[in-house]
Structures are given as C-alpha cells and as structure tokens.
Structure 1
C-alpha cells in the first residue's frame, strides 16, 4: 500500500456524516468540540440530525448528504458520527471513487463502507466515531488524529496493551495487510461483491453484544464462504457483552479456539478496537501493512506522508 497523501494538518476541514442510525445532538456536539479544540474545522453533513424510523434520514437523504461531502474538495477527512444500522442500504448509491487520497474514519456499521472501499483498493481507518458516548472512546478521537497527522508511523504499536494468545502462538513475527471490521457486518457481506478478502492479511475482528452461538454461526459463515482463506493471523477485539451470561463452563476464548484453532494461524484477542468499554479506541488502518510481534500489532509502513 502506497502511503496516503491525505496528511491532516490543523486548519484542515473534517467532514462529519451520519450514514446509519440517528445521531444524539449532545454526543455529536461533544465530539465536534474536541476536534475543534485540536485546531480543525468541522463541517457537519446536511440534515445530520435527520430521522426516519430507525435511520438518520431516508436512504436518499443520507446518501445525498454523503455524496455532497465526497464532492467537496475542502473536506480532507470524512469522519462518521456514529454507526448503528443503515450503511449497507446506501453503499451502492455512494460515489466512493471521489474519496481520492482522503481517508474515511468509522467503525461498527461503517464496516459496510470499509469493505466497499477495500474492494476498490482504498484504505479505511477503523476508528472511534465523532458522536462516541463514553469518554474513553472520545479519547480514541485523539489517537485517530495522531495517526492521520503522521504522529504515529512505522514501528508504532496500534495499541499499547499486549494481546493475549488464544491459539497457535506465533513463533516469529507475522507481517500482513490489515483487514477486517465488525463481525456481524463481515458475516452479512459474505457472498456479496464486497465480501471480506483476508488472504495474506492480519485480520482484525470485533463486535459487541453478540451471544456465543451467534458468534459461532458468523465465524462459520466466514469460513464456509472462503472469506478467511489464506489469512495469516486473526486478532479479535475486546468483544464486550459477548460472553454467555450465567454460564462459566466455557469462555469466549474457548469458543474462538474451537471455531478457528484448526486454521493453524495465530489467534489473539484483546485489541481495544471497534466496540470497546474501558480503553481508548485504537485506530486500525485497514489496507496498510502491520507486524504481529511480541504480542502487539505494530505498523510496518507509513499511513500518511511524512510531515514537511
């Protein structure tokens, strides 16, 4: 992956859009205030507080607002307000080729957009969103800004916390392109043109509030559809709320080992990416090379051009 040319500098404009579920005004205002306090201009999408049933506006309204932002050359980064549900409904209506050398940032339901971008060979930052609720996730905005501003480059760990090994401990460093996203969206995309392609990848998988039997089913879907063929390592997130309540006879690690251990590749967990509870959201630059070494994911190439 060639380094992006979208180095973010103070004074640049960040566009904030709502492609999925409705946005809560206090949460968005808090995130916008943080970005502005760091020296950036923030331009919310038109009708960002719209509502249509369980969505932030009709499909036409959400897609139209996002396409306006994609056509705006002053917007240097397109940053999602929140996820929820709805990106998959509009992905085919978006002029994603207009993103050019700019980044899009988001997670959760935004995986539907990241998969579409990765199919085009474009990168995506799987990172904290502007209307994130808990303060630790707001701290993730600063981590994403550091990545976009060139302050974290080759040799920088994606997260400071060491990962725990679930199966097949790596005997030497493993390098590959970062791929992945939210498990439920990855599974839903299996069999579609935008399906995950994990061959040669360090694949990051995370989610929240999914019961073990559902995780089992979704991982089986990814395996049987060929999405995980040729994967070099699997790195799971914190997976909050995914343990079986009132049953301590097995752990989520046991389930992941049972479902995936026979792939013979390193399987680790504990990356604070995507849905997290007690740690800042670590941004994962999908489409860029990283190395799994010493229990950590470390960037192996620059994500943006070096500051001048």
Structure 2
C-alpha cells in the first residue's frame, strides 16, 4: 500500500474540504498520514514559515513515507526555499520520493527536483472542494501515477495540441518542467531559478488579467529564463480575461470631470479574447525566439485536472502529440 504524507506549505487549509479529501484518498486504498502542521495558522499561511519547512523535511526524511502530497496551494511556498537550504545542509538530502501538488507548489516542485533529485507530479490536492469529484480519467491517471502503475492512461496523450507558432520541423525530446506562470516567473533572478538546460516549458495560470500575463512573459524573456527553452506547452488559463477599460464618451463636455462616475462612457480600446492573448503574447515571443508554442494541454486549475509528471522526459511532435518518454518514478 502506497504511504502518503500530507503537509501544507502555503495558505491556511479549509478543514471540512480537507477532511473530505483525506477520506477520499483513504477510500482509494492509500495509507494516509496527515502532519499536524496542516491544521496550523499564522498570518496568511498554514503555520509559520519555519513550521511549514520543518514539516516538509520531517516527512521527507521519514522512511515510512513514499509520497508527499500537498494539502493545497495558495501563497507562501516560496518563503520556505532558504529554510529548506538550511535544513538540507543540517540533515542532508532526503531520499527520493514523489511530491504531488500544483499552483503555489510550483516553486517547491522545482526545488526538490533540482536540489533533492526528487520526482514531482503536477496534480490536484485534497483540500480542493472538487477533489473527490475530479473527472474519472483525471483521477484514475493521478492514482495510477502515485501508486507507480506500469501502465498509465494519461488524459493528454491522445489529445493533439494546437500550435500558435509554426510547428517544429523535427520532434522535440527534452525534460518538461514548469507549472504556474505566476510562480515560475518569481524564480527569475533568484538562486532557485531553473538551470539553463534544454527543456519543454509547461505553463498554466488562474485569474490573471491579460496585461499581467503579458508582463510575466516579458519578465521571463528578459530575465533569460527562455534562453534554453526548446518549446512551450500551455495548459488551462482558468478565469483569465482582459479588463474592459472605458473613458469619457466623445462629445462629453468638461463639466463631466466633476462627477465622472455619472458621465457617459465609451470603450477605451477593444476587449481581447484568449485567442488574441495567445497570438499577441505567446506567438510573438515564440516567433522572436524561434520557440515552438502550443496550446490545449488539459492541465491546470480547471476545467481540466489531468496529472502531469514534471522533470520527466517527453517527445513533442509536429502533429501536436505529447508523449511521455521516461519518468523514473514509474516502474
């Protein structure tokens, strides 16, 4: 039986939703141990930074735990990185395990992948209200991945992606890394930025306006984090929209500035759609940097929750198919 330890590395954990998620995991045949830290609260987080880092290290070094599953995302995981440096220096590198989670966990995925040589899985977390109601194919693949099944029906493996740039002339084979765009770009300029080795970059996000996505991609490019990028695959950008900007309507006289809220208004500029975002931001960067970019990977904050091994080797073909070549966690 796979032994799972649960920690909370980011925001405060909702107790009812979490308990439902834990019971669901147990009903699926997993041996689940919840670290007491999960129920802590300090400021915006599930306990003080030192408490959260110590809880992760405790489960990381526990020989009775195979998999560490984060309770939820939110905010605060990046604060733990220097503390994990110190704990690693004091206690040594923990033996390889699998870390499961996504969103704010992106920075921890990248940390344990590089510093501890762990396996990582971008997948749903048990404190989510819909965790026990995930689409069947998404949950079946998640459970199979966690329990190291030899055969896993990845929901994305037979769903060709859609190119927003010219497709690659030859298949691209490389490690796939990344996660949440907002978190990935915060690594730029820090000691925890990903090593500049050829890779396929996966990105997704939640509730970001288009100007912020544009700014984050500009930051990634200007910081050099796209220099070794062989391709980019985009997952769900859930509830990401353009802001509708208005201005005083043409013909409005100068008295309107005394009470502009009551004055007639008109659109300042067009309001753009998701295809516009892909064309203007991603396709432009791809063309400039000669990076093939595709959309449609059913991974992210919804409506799709397919699991995705990070750090594993994939092949991305001109017809848009993404195939897992090798994942060392899988038997």
After TM superposition, the score normalised by the length of structure 1 is 0.87
Given that 1:177 and 1:287 are in contact with CA atoms closer than 8 Å, whether structure 2 keeps it comes out as yes
Residues 1:271 and 2:269 are matched in the alignment: no
Question: Residue 80 of structure 2 is aligned with which of 90, 94, 97?
Answer: 90
Whether the 8 Å contact between 1:124 and 1:287 is mirrored in structure 2 is yes
Gaps of 5+ in 1: 1-10
Once the two structures are superposed, the pairs formed by residues 101-250 of structure 1 within 5 Å of their partners are: 101-120=96-115, 121-134=117-130, 137=134, 140-151=138-149, 158-197=156-195, 199-246=197-244, 247-248=271-272
Contact 2:202-2:234 at 8 Å conserved across structures: yes
Select which of 276, 279, 292 maps to 1:251. 276
1:296 aligns to 2:294 (yes or no):
no
RCO higher in 1 or 2 (8 Å CA, sep ≥ 6)?
Answer: 1
Measured after TM superposition, the shift of residue 205 of structure 1 is: 0.9
Contact 2:102–2:122 under 8 Å retained in 1:
yes
* 1:216 positional shift: 1.2
RMSD: 2.3
Instruction: State the alpha-carbon separation in 1 of the partners of residues 200 and 151 from structure 2.
Output: 18
In 2, the alpha carbon distance for the partners of 1:169 and 1:25 equals: 46
Q: Residue 102 of structure 1: CA displacement?
A: 0.8
User: What number of residue pairs does the alignment pair up?
Assistant: 294
Distance 1:83 1:295, change over 3 A: same
Give the whole-Å Cα distance in 2 for the aligned partners of 1:283 and 1:289: 15
> Helix, strand or coil: the match of 1:256?
helix
- Return 116-125 or 170-179, whichever deviates more: 116-125
Deviation at residue 14 of structure 1 after TM alignment: 0.3
SS state at 1:258 partner: helix
Question: Within 2, Cα distance between the matches of 1:39 and 1:131?
Answer: 18
Give 1 or 2: higher helix fraction: 2
Q: Could you say if the C-alpha distance between residues 112 and 199 of structure 1 is closer, same or farther in structure 2, counting changes exceeding 3 Å?
A: same
Greater mean deviation of Cα atoms: 120-129 or 19-28: 120-129
Tell me the distance in 2 between the aligned counterparts of 1:198 and 1:231: 8
CA deviation after TM superposition for structure 1 residue 179, in Å: 0.9
Deviation at 1:295, TM superposition (A): 1.7
Tell me: CA distance 1:164–1:269, structure 2 relative to 1, closer, same or farther (3 Å). same
Q: Which residue of 2 aligns with 1:78?
A: 68
Q: CA deviation at 1:142?
A: 3.6
Deviation at 1:27, TM superposition (A): 1.8
TM-score (norm 2): 0.81
Name the stretch that deviates more: 123-132 or 225-234.
123-132
Cα offset, 1:141, TM superposition: 4.4
How far apart in 2 are the matches of 1:152 and 1:304? 10
Greater Rg over alpha carbons, structure: 2
Partner of 1:6: none
CA distance in 1 between counterparts of 2:135 and 2:48 reads 28
Structure 1 residues 104, 41: CA separation in 2 closer, same or farther (over 3 Å shift)? Answer: same
Instruction: Write the deviation string for residues 57-98 of structure 1: whole angstroms up to 9, x where unpaired.
Output: 111221222222122111110000101011111122234654
Give SS of 1:116's match: helix
How far 1:133 sits from its partner (Å)? 2.6
